[in-house]
């Protein structure tokens, strides 16, 4: 058995960004199948146009429309592409100096093999049929392999507006590992047990266990099985719907201080109207049917009132 | 200026860390080593600063979980940078200069193996004109390498020589995840990975963490017999767009070296060069001659844990002062694509030229 529990996880978010006048001008050009450069303070033309001059730092305000052909200034062969790149079969990333520009642009070249690419070769843009105003609206190809793909037609009237914002989806895949201490917690849950660990120095019991006592900075080695009964220390009534919500609001999310623990565990309080949940209420873990268990805190469906008298405030006031 | 020295250093580097990406369980023994080296407890540390990234960890607030390793009740004076811990060291050095604290412990950590590192690092690029193409870090370094090859500034044999020396030196480094020299001919016979770079030209994906202890004046002398006094510390950055930089040189490394008054007299330089050709760029930018011993630890080509590899260069260089084998050393750290950001830390046995 591996020391830790691991699972794949994907973290994804679509970033919406406003473009501003300079990048907006550049991306509008790409949408209209035109490469737009910006003139720098020393007279050079840069593609993409930087918002501010890299030397003098003044705003770049003069734009130049350029042809969609250029020269390879440097290149590399991507033998093992990663997700999201312009091609999922091997291709070239290159620094391409657009004809009429003075600084190279990082982009991709489609080719069959690295033997088809060399420094100094001419390349031409191959434009996507549907363009949104993004650097992904085109890819470069060796100049002799395609005829011009730019459509000469002017953009439709509705499209004449400048590209003001873009959406950049970001998605990253991880192989996520729980710490050894968290792993023993989750393995305990798979056996119907709630495990914590005791700090050898301050004797506090942490659940879920952590790699080190946050007070003393020493490993929390001793394993402690906790009671399945505890006290609500504090709670909130969730009234706001959100993405991924599994229970219809209103419902109660609470901190439950299990008997024998020094830190509360967050969980749901059900089987009682939300407005009757209170600090000091005694609750017990209600488990899902055993055949639904995994190595997850979701093995515990929720906590429900035990019917015992409420705990004295003094008994949990140091755990708030 | 207050005289500040590096007086403690601990590290762990490995191919795959079997643990959580917040790495508290790896940091606990590292911090314990720092206490042992200095004779301190956590109460002796006036300021803490860490370097890490949630993008690398794949979870939010990983640096907050990591400070469990310190033990932060009562609360400690703490900060964080989303950069290599070498920049955390810079922040801590500034903090000591303000007079607010006399001591600091900086650390960095990262579990690069949790994701696809060369892809994750795409998120440090310009989000408008670069990230949508997902240009991986290895490809960007390869574009830089070819510019120098085409310009005749280096050749493939020169890159292989850097690799051969690094991996030979790495045989003596217990933390190296790649080690074992061979020969230039044998290295050049291996297949291309990101033409013109072979896999051995690129730093191995590495998990790890490291910590460095700083102290001012008497606190430094109490903690270590021969402190590595920081006599020059500076960092600089180049622009965001690759096209407007000359990638065959490193303007930011040159400026950092100039800001510390140059590198004359440096005997050992630990350079953070994650790609073989970048060592050649850095040697030239930092003005390091043939008589300077480069990266005796094996450098980043032997192990390159994100967010601590730069700090490890400073720690490895400081060790040469501690053990008396050098009088003046340099630790260098880089961050960003194709050597965009560079930090230089010069350390000496003599405290600002004065006798001890």
Residues B81-112 have pLDDT tens digits of: 999 999 999 999 999 999 999 999 999 999 99
Q: Judge: B242–A54 Cβ closer than 8 Å, yes or no.
A: no
With a cut of 60, say whether residue B2 has pLDDT above it.
yes
Which residues of chain A make contact with B72, given a CB cutoff of 8 A?
A: 214-215, 217
Could you tell me if A320 lies within 8 Å of chain B, comparing CB atoms?
A: no
Residues 6+ apart with CB under 8 A from A155: A31, A32
Could you tell me the pLDDT band of residue B74, with boundaries at 50, 70 and 90? confident
Which tens digit of pLDDT belongs to each residue from B116-125? 999 999 999 9
> What pLDDT is attached to residue B15?
95
Mean pLDDT of all residues in B36-57: 96
In this structure, of A137-151, A221-235, B34-48, B218-232, the range with the lowest mean pLDDT score is A137-151
Mean pLDDT of all residues in A181-196: 95
Do A237 and A299 form a contact (C-beta atoms < 8 A)? no
Q: Judge: B20–A179 Cβ closer than 8 Å, yes or no.
A: yes
Is the torsion defined by CA of B58, B64, B70, B71 positive or negative?
negative
Q: Cα–Cα distance between B256 and B278 in angstroms, integer? A: 16
> What pLDDT is attached to residue B356?
40
**B52-56 LR contacts (CB < 8 Å, sep 24+):** B52/B80, B52/B82, B52/B108, B52/B109, B52/B110, B52/B307, B53/B82, B53/B110, B53/B306, B53/B307, B55/A172, B55/B120, B55/B123, B56/B21, B56/B110, B56/B111, B56/B112, B56/B114, B56/B115, B56/B117, B56/B120, B56/B306, B56/B307
pTM equals: 0.94
Q: Cα–Cα distance between A116 and B157 in angstroms, integer? A: 24
Do A36 and A50 form a contact (C-beta atoms < 8 A)? no
Which residues of chain A make contact with B22, given a CB cutoff of 8 A?
A: 179, 211
Which tens digit of pLDDT belongs to each residue from A66-122? 999 999 999 999 999 999 999 999 999 999 999 999 999 999 999 999 999 999 999
Which tens digit of pLDDT belongs to each residue from B246-268? 999 999 999 999 999 999 999 99
> What pLDDT is attached to residue B187?
98
Could you tell me the pLDDT band of residue A133, with boundaries at 50, 70 and 90? very high
With a cut of 90, say whether residue A165 has pLDDT above it.
yes
Chain B: nearest CA to A225, how far in angstroms?
A: 21
In chain B, positions 171-210, which contact chain A (CB-CB < 8 Å)? 192-197
Q: What percent of chain B has pLDDT over 90?
A: 91
Chain A: nearest CA to B243, how far in angstroms?
A: 5
Mean pLDDT of all residues in A195-203: 94
Assembly ipTM: 0.94
Mean pLDDT of all residues in B121-133: 95
Residue in A19, A106, A119, A319 to test binding to B, most B beta-carbons within 10 Å? A106
> What pLDDT is attached to residue A151?
57
Q: Output the DSSP codes for B48-72.
A: EEEE--HHHHTSTTHHHHHGGGT--
With a cut of 70, say whether residue A147 has pLDDT above it.
no
Which tens digit of pLDDT belongs to each residue from A221-269? 899 999 999 999 999 999 999 888 888 899 999 999 999 999 999 999 9
Could you tell me the pLDDT band of residue A150, with boundaries at 50, 70 and 90? low
In this structure, of A55-69, A153-167, A254-268, B133-147, the range with the lowest mean pLDDT score is A153-167
Helix (H, G, I), strand (E, B) or coil at B282: helix
Q: Judge: B134–A82 Cβ closer than 8 Å, yes or no.
A: yes
With a cut of 50, say whether residue B355 has pLDDT above it.
no
> What pLDDT is attached to residue A155?
53
> What pLDDT is attached to residue B68?
87
With a cut of 50, say whether residue A144 has pLDDT above it.
yes
β-strand partners of A140: A109, A125
Q: Judge: A179–B71 Cβ closer than 8 Å, yes or no.
A: no
Which residues of chain B make contact with A218, given a CB cutoff of 8 A?
A: 28, 71
Mean pLDDT of all residues in B149-155: 98
Nearest alpha-carbon partner for B306 in B67, B55, B65, B94: B55
> What pLDDT is attached to residue A148?
62
Given A54, A76, A85, which is nearest B142 (Cβ)? A76
Q: Judge: A218–B42 Cβ closer than 8 Å, yes or no.
A: no
Which tens digit of pLDDT belongs to each residue from A201-214? 999 999 999 888 88
Cα–Cα–Cα angle for B76, B79, B81, rounded to 5 degrees: 155
Which tens digit of pLDDT belongs to each residue from A275-292? 999 999 999 999 999 999
The domain locations on chain A are 17-166, 178-319
In chain A, positions 98-157, which contact chain B (CB-CB < 8 Å)? 103-108, 114, 119, 134-136
With a cut of 60, say whether residue A48 has pLDDT above it.
yes
Q: Cα–Cα distance between A195 and A182 in angstroms, integer? A: 9
């Amino acid at each position: 058995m591996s020391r830790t529990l691991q699972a794949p996880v994907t973290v994804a978010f679509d970033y919406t960004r406003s473009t501003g006048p300079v990048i907006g001008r550049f991306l509008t050009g790409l949408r209209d199948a035109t490469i737009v450069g910006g003139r720098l303070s020393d007279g050079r033309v840069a593609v993409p146009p930087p918002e501010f001059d890299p030397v003098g730092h003044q705003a770049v305000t003069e734009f130049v429309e350029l042809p969609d052909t250029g020269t390879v200034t440097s290149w590399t062969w991507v033998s093992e592409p990663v997700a999201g790149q312009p091609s999922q079969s091997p291709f070239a990333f290159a620094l391409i100096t657009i004809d009429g520009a003075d600084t190279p642009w990082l982009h991709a070249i489609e080719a069959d093999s690295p033997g088809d690419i060399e420094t100094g070769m001419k390349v031409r843009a191959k434009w996507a049929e549907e363009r949104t105003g993004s650097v992904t609206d085109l890819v470069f190809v060796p100049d002799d392999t395609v005829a011009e793909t730019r459509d000469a037609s002017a953009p439709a009237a509705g499209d004449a507006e400048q590209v003001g914002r873009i959406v950049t989806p970001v998605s990253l895949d991880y192989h996520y590992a729980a710490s050894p201490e968290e792993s023993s917690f989750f393995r305990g849950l798979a056996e119907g047990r709630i495990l914590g660990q005791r700090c050898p120095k301050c004797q506090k019991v942490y659940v879920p266990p952590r790699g080190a006592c946050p007070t003393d900075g020493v490993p929390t080695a001793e394993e402690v099985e906790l009671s399945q009964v505890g006290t609500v220390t504090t709670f909130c009534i969730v009234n706001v719907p959100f993405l991924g919500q599994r229970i219809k609001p209103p419902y109660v999310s609470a901190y439950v201080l299990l008997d024998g623990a020094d830190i509360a565990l967050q969980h749901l309080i059900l089987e009682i109207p939300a407005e009757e949940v209170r600090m000091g209420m005694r609750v017990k873990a209600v488990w899902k049917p055993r055949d639904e268990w995994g190595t997850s805190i979701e093995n515990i469906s929720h906590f429900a009132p035990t019917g015992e008298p409420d705990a004295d405030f003094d008994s949990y006031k140091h755990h708030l | 200026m207050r005289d500040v020295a590096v007086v403690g250093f601990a590290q762990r580097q490995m191919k795959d860390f079997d643990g959580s990406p917040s790495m508290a369980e790896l940091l606990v023994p590292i911090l314990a080593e720092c206490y042992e080296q200095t004779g301190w407890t956590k109460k002796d540390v006036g300021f803490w600063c860490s370097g890490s990234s949630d993008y690398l960890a794949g979870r939010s607030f990983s640096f907050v979980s990591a400070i469990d390793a310190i033990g932060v009740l009562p609360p400690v004076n703490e900060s964080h940078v989303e950069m290599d811990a070498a920049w955390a060291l810079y922040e801590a050095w500034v903090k000591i200069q303000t007079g607010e604290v006399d001591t600091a412990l900086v650390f960095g950590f990262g579990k690069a193996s949790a994701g696809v590192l060369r892809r994750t690092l795409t998120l440090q690029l310009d989000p408008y004109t670069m990230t949508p193409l997902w240009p991986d870090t290895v490809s960007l370094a390869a574009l830089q390498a070819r510019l120098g090859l085409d310009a005749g500034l280096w050749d493939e044999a020169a890159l292989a020589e850097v690799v051969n020396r690094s991996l030979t030196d790495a045989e003596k480094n217990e933390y190296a995840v790649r080690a074992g020299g061979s020969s230039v001919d044998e290295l050049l016979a291996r297949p291309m990975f990101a033409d013109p770079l072979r896999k051995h030209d690129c730093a191995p994906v590495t998990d790890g963490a490291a910590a460095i202890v700083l102290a001012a004046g008497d606190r430094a002398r109490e903690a270590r017999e021969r402190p590595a006094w920081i006599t020059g510390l500076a960092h600089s950055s180049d622009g965001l767009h690759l096209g407007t930089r000359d990638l065959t040189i490193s303007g930011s490394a040159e400026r950092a070296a100039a800001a510390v008054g140059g590198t004359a007299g440096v005997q050992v330089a630990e350079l953070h060069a994650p790609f073989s050709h970048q060592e050649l760029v850095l040697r030239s930018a930092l003005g390091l001659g043939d008589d300077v011993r480069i990266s005796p630890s094996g450098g980043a080509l032997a192990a390159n844990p994100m967010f601590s590899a730069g700090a490890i260069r400073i720690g490895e260089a400081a060790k040469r002062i501690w053990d008396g084998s050098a009088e003046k050393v340099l630790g260098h750290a880089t961050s960003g694509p194709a050597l965009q950001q560079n930090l230089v830390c010069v350390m000496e046995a003599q405290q600002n030229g004065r006798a001890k």
